[in-house]
A and B are shown apart, each in its own frame.
Chain A
Amino acid sequence: MSHDQLQPADAGDVRAAFTRRSLFRGAGALAAGSIVADAARSAAAAPSVRLEGALEIELSINGAAQKVKVEPRTTLLNALRNHCSPPLTGAKLVCDRGSCGACTVHVDGRPVYSCMTLAIDAVGKKVTTVEGLAKGGELTEVQRAICEHDGSMCGFCTPGFVMSITACLERKPDATLDEIKHACAGNLCRCGTYPHLFDAALAAGRALRAKGGK
């Protein structure tokens, strides 16, 4: 393993995004966010858009629009942690290779690895991070159950598991143990708290059903 694998692959662009000027060839002086969104929706007649260097995009994060300065190579994880204000550090940078699940967020309600998603590809979509789950300071059933079942040890993987379990139970509140395991297959916990996490997920499912969830 080379040392640089331990570093975020695009760490260098944090500062660069604020010093380099945006460059839009053939796209005029519109905000990149609207260009990207338009390109995603556009008809065949629309021209291609070229994006390079630092650009400002608008993301929908936890229900609020947020303008962030990124580059095309900036991952969604990097944008959340380093370019949002306040920084959203719930999603963790661990493997940075789509292997461990610590960076899991929801994009349009589906769990994805934010380290393997370009921030630009999240334009026009609804991003939900672990910070966006609890409403009015009250923990969700999944979060509460993980606390009650002692579901985290060092806690670094916990936000990722919360996102995976939440997505699983939103689709199927009566998910079986096997279905929960399948939903969490892309999340690693090096402390080995899996049995507690799975118990918590089953309990959260029961609580959601008692509350009259789907």
Chain B
Amino acid sequence: MKAFELIQPASLDAALEALPGARDTKARDRVKLLAGGQDLLGELKEHLIEPQTLVNLKSIPGLDAIEHRDDGSLRLGALVTLARIEEDRTLRERFALLAEAAGAVASVQIRNAGTLGGNLCQRPRCWYYRHEQAVCIKKGGSECFAYGGLNKYNAILGGGPSYIVHPSDVAPALVALEAQAVIRGKRGERQIPLEQFFTLPSEGSVLRENVLTSEEILTHVIVPAQSGAPWRSTYLKFRERGSYDFALSAVALRLSMDGDKVRAARLVLGGVAPIPWRCEKAEKALVGREIDAQTAEFVGKLALEGAEPLEHNAYKILLTQGLITKALRKLAS
């Protein structure tokens, strides 16, 4: 890893001051944010990035707070570790889906150091992107090598011109929970639905996976109170290696039931698209239905509608439909 200068800002404003302006395109690779470091240090060691300066967000007081607010909502600082999300008792009671997804991330060691913000902003795991010598489209090259190459782990939905998948486990869970992202920039604060935080390679910059500019920091995630009838939820993650791994496919499902029938549903997929993939058609189709084999098949088809598998990843369609069926059955019983 190349030497860098480490800035320990004492406040969020001081951290923002250290960031280059949004228009300073040359400077954006010179300064990077450091949170838990579980992704960033890997990028530095592989020489995928060689910033001159790291801004250490861990030195900012208060960014690691878990706040259960009186209205039942949850405000999480971006520096809260995944382990604390997994363990917090009130959070487990009120937002089991999030705790479950946080517990599915990597290993104990990574969850103890890795943060919520870092997990949401982590870079792709595509092996072409992670190879120092492969200057792929995500690194300013002209081609997605996965498209015509070894693409077993790549996207079946929303791909092109890059076919990465978003590696986060907590992102699909948080989108299913209708979370909001709080972003601070030099010109103030903005709050957007987390669903709109992530960008497809075809709509945002292909070099990034989200809307953050180089002068912005994701500071908090707000999860609204669970309104209406009680929701049931589950996060199912399929890994190639059982002990710990990124998802080949993952399903975050929330259902609110009215007797045997579905009153409302949220279904978000992980590991299959460059963003957490919300299945709105499938959600709507679930409303008013009973959960049975027929519903599961119908919903599975709708959820994967438009899937365009590459040469080596058609298995992800059946795998994801299987996970959706399993998740529906689990919540119906």
Interface residues of A (CB under 8 A from B): 2, 5, 9-10, 13, 35-36, 39-53, 71-73, 75, 96-98, 101, 104, 107, 110-113, 116-118, 120-121, 164, 167, 181-183, 185-187
Contacts and interface: CB of A to CB of B under 8 A. Distances in A.
Contacts of A46: 10-11
15 contacts: A2-B132, A2-B133, A40-B8, A42-B61, A45-B10, A47-B14, A101-B107, A107-B113, A116-B37, A116-B41, A116-B42, A121-B37, A167-B108, A181-B243, A185-B107
Given A96-B45, A185-B107, A48 B112 contact: no
Contacts of B264: none
B9 interface: yes
A46 B243 CA distance: 44
A44 B61 contact: yes
B7 interface: yes
A113 B113 contact: yes
Contact of B244 (A13, A73, A121, A186): A186
A75 B37 CA distance: 11
Interface residues of B, number: 41
Max chain A C-beta neighbours (<10 A), residue from B2, B3, B42: B3
A75 B41 CA distance: 9
B310 interface: no
Interface string B22-56: 00000000000010011001101110000000101
Contacts of B107: 101, 185-187
Given A73-B44, A116-B42, A186-B244, A51 B109 contact: no
A45 B6 CA distance: 19
B71 interface: no
B4 interface: yes
A96 B44 CA distance: 12
Contact of B59 (A10, A39, A98): A39
B250 interface: no
Contact of A49 (B3, B7, B113): B7
Main secondary structure of the interface of B (DSSP, over half): mixed
Given A39-B59, A164-B108, 11 more contacts: A9-B45, A40-B58, A43-B10, A45-B10, A46-B10, A46-B11, A52-B5, A101-B107, A164-B109, A185-B244, A186-B243
Nearest to A73: B1
A79 to B, nearest CB: 14
Given A185-B108, A185-B243, A73 B38 contact: no
Nearest to A183: B108
Contacts of A39: 8, 10, 59
B83 interface: yes
Contacts of B6: 50-52, 72, 118, 120
Given A121-B37, A121-B58, A73 B3 contact: yes
Contact of B56 (A35, A47, A111, A121): A121
B285 interface: no
B109 A111 contact: yes
A98 B110 contact: yes
Contact of A98 (B5, B41, B83): B41
Contacts of B61: 41-44
Interface in B85-134: 106-110, 112-113, 132-133
A214 to B, nearest CB: 16
Given A40-B58, A110-B83, A72 B5 contact: yes
A186 to B, nearest CB: 2
A186 B113 contact: no
B113 A9 contact: no
A50 B5 contact: yes
Contacts of A49: 7-8, 10, 59
Contacts of A2: 132-133
A77 B245 CA distance: 23
Which of B5, B8, B18 neighbours the largest number of chain A CB atoms within 10 Å of its CB?
Answer: B8
Nearest to B112: A110
A48 B1 contact: no
Nearest to B241: A185
A10 B46 CA distance: 11
Contacts of B1: 9-10, 73
A73 B45 CA distance: 10
Contacts of A5: 46
